[in-house]
Amino acid sequence: MGGISRRRFLEFGAAAVATTVATSKRSHATPNFEGYPEGMGVLVDLTKCIGCRSCEAACNKEHGLPKPEKPFDDLSVFDERGHSGQMRRPDETRYTVVNRYEPTQGGAPVYRKIQCNHCNEPACLTSCFVNAYTKTKEGAVVYNPEVCVGCRMCMTACPFYVPGYSYSSATNPVIVKCNFCYDKRLVNGLPPACVEICPQEALLFGHREELIAIGKARIKAEPDRYIDHIYGEEEVGGTSWMYISSEPFEELGFDTTLQKKPIISNVMGFLGMVPMVLAIWPALFTGFHLLAKKKGGEDGHDSERGEGE
């Protein structure tokens, strides 16, 4: 080899700069973080989904999840309702579910797959006090059960109600959620199991940036077919999983009131005040104390204490 070649040196330098920039971005300019350039994503075309639930089955198999009560070809699950008419949601037994929605305008039902949307700036990650979450450069938001204390802040913070908790376990309850098939597939450049199995090609795997372009192209090509919006392009700072639809998103259980900026930006004001309080309060209150004290006098506190009768 004989020393470092110029190219390697440059690579190293670039990496160092990139790291610095990335770190400083994380700590100072987080609201502007728009995802890793090579981040992958999935574009869900709700007009193509037929509600066959094969993605649910593939996910179950891929992750070795428990066998459900009803088989995956049983479509009566679409009529299941939980607490106060809530539709099915991901939990400790399933990382993804498909729900059926009847459009209010009439017409064919729409099926929507729910899983972790893998936000660019995940609220779960930024709210976790033990750093159990990682946003990988491939775009996945992965969770480390080894350090999780079980405060369930991430569940409170997730705007999509995605993380579930294995409440049934007494000794090792953990967060359960879709991990984009990160460890077995995504790191090797493979699409997640649900995408691979989809017979309708309703799920499109690719670079997030390209998917946005494709989504826009589809909407432009068939403006009568699609609502002019890619859900996830900008919601809470952008997500890796995105949706296009023929029906208004709010009718399909999507929260269309979500803020555009990442959740963490709501907390920035408070976090920024912390060091100021730490720095200013001691002088401020010691100053009050000095002002309140009588001139030249002793504090006098407690001098009588213990005198008794």
Shortest Å, Cβ 72 to another protein: 21
Tell me how far apart the alpha carbons of residues 121 and 34 are, in angstroms, rounded to a whole number: 8
Shortest Å, Cβ 309 to another protein: 8
Nearer to another protein, 19 or 259 (CB): 259
Nearer to another protein, 19 or 266 (CB): 266
How many residues does the structure list for the chain? 309
- Helix (H) or strand (E) run with residue 253 in it: none
Tell me how far apart the alpha carbons of residues 77 and 100 are, in angstroms, rounded to a whole number: 9
Minimal CA–CA distance to 39: which of 257, 159, 186?
186
Nearer to another protein, 132 or 211 (CB): 132
Shortest Å, Cβ 107 to another protein: 25
Shortest Å, Cβ 291 to another protein: 9
Shortest Å, Cβ 267 to another protein: 5
Nearer to another protein, 1 or 170 (CB): 170
Tell me how far apart the alpha carbons of residues 212 and 98 are, in angstroms, rounded to a whole number: 23
Question: SS3 string of 99-160?
Answer: EEECCCCCCCCEEEEECCCCECCCHHHHHCCCCCEEECCCCCEEECCCCCCCCCHHHHHCCC
Tell me how far apart the alpha carbons of residues 258 and 231 are, in angstroms, rounded to a whole number: 10
Nearer to another protein, 84 or 104 (CB): 84
Shortest Å, Cβ 170 to another protein: 4
Nearer to another protein, 18 or 149 (CB): 149
Q: Which residues are paired to 91 by β-bridges?
A: 94
